[in-house]
Amino acid sequence: MNISIARRIAFDVLLRVAEHGAYADEALRAALAEAAGCAVKSTVKTEDAGLATELTFGVLRWQRLLDFRIDSLLTKASKSLDSEVRIALRLGAYQLFFLERIPAHAAVHESVELVKMARKRSAAPFVNAVLRKAAKESAQSLPSRTDPDALLPSGITPADRLGILYSHPTWMVERWFSAFEKDRIESLLAANNRVPSLAGYIADPQHREEILSSLQKAGCAVRPGHLLRDAFILEGGNPTDGELVRRGQLVIQDEASQAVTHLLAVQPGNTVLDLCAAPGGKTLRLALDAGPTGRVIAADLHAHRVRAMAERFQQAGIQNVETIALDAATPLPFAQKFDRILVDVPCSGTGTLSRHPEIRWRLRPEDLADLHARQSLLLRNALPHLAPGGRLVYSTCSLEPEENEHVVSEVLGDFGNSFCVVSARSAVEKFLQKSVPAESMVGADGFFRTFPAEHVTDGFFGAVIVRSEEKT
């Protein structure tokens, strides 16, 4: 059976995402590592890993448009398909419609072989026929080659139109119509379908030049970040699996995520609580800022994630962090109060749809109410543990007001005058590049916000909350 390793990996990962709720980035990383470790004649080459990544995330980002185009080639009776068949069709269609460098015969043939590999041999002639039809239409179906509206039925609603063309659920587009100006919505949808930047920072400034040299030798081009003074963008190579990352000298993290930890303004010697810490990327920055005289407690609900964090900190030589498993939806078990608290809550992730495209197909409107309730509980449980004069940052990687402003206003309303929101502007001005105006991400309400289309980062929200000096 002649199937390229890249297409086989992409098929397996997409099936895991569809059937088992796996996260695409984690499943792909595991699949590539497993393939590279197999005792086979040839391990995964760089170009194979690149194609597997392109296929996996490309199919997930463009899933709705792909299904729309595929379904237009089917009879009504054949639109209900097994997952294996649907995924093989999506993979073939993505190559035909989006990847001009892939020969049509290869896209069709290997998708047919994938169905056979998945023990759906009886569907092979069907997949072959559908993709051959798609191949004939691919020249005019490529979005870059034609008016995309010509593909759509007449009388379609504005939200359905954008939902199909930019491959988002209609309900998500509809709610953004009520949240954002019209000219921002289409740019947001387009940004959610781009390949995200790979950003990071050097956690060991004393060896900066040595680290940069190592990255360049590994084939990584390094250029300044979009927003932050000490951030950079990496292009090319595979720095995420390198020794620099394992030793904690290089931290791979989106710039908006980096900015959230800067909002906390941790000082040397501070006691810090990172309440929802896993996988620990933000904790590393907090530990560096607190210094050897400071102390950071990194908490998370899941014990296996806490163990993974502890191993990460040990490999990086971080000694001022204590890890603990706890359910922050219940009263916290700390007698002490903390100078700084980060409450980076689990959220819908609608600010990360370019990085985690599968979220758009899993999230439901009713999920936002459930998330709001839990997020409010986490913030409400954390606030009493903030020391007088202390600083807490509540953050999400969501664009939704139910998870952001509404949580902050609701919870702080329960505490009277004990806590208040302060503007994030003064903190932001300290770490932004001089060419980036603070008002581009801090509104009149004082909240910190990044918008994927405008900041070329994930979409993050941050509220800086301080406790009055009066002792309670």
Annotated active-site positions, please?
A: 397
Task: Give burial (CB, 10 Å; 0-12/13-18/19+) of 242.
Answer: middle
How far CA 227 is from CA of 231, 428, 458, in Å, comes to 8, 10, 12
In 244-358, DSSP assigns E strands to 250-252, 271-274, 295-300, 321-325, 338-344
**How many residues can be counted in the chain?**
472
CA-based R_g, the chain, Å: 24
Q: Which residues of 1-30 are buried (b: 16+ CB within 10 A; e: fewer)?
A: eebebbbbbbbbbbbbbbeeebebbebbee
Q: Which residue has the tokens 């060419």?
A: 435
> Measuring CA to CA, which residue among 346, 351, 355, 345 is closest to residue 454?
351
Token pair of 357, please?
A: 């495209």
How far CA 258 is from CA of 271, 400, 422, in Å, comes to 19, 20, 20
CA distance 215 to 366: 44
Residue 360 burial (CB count, 10 A): 21
Q: Which residue has the tokens 């100006």?
A: 181
Angle at alpha carbon of residue 163, lines to 79 and 6, rounded to 5°: 65
CA distance 259 to 140: 43
Token pair of 258, please?
A: 């980096």
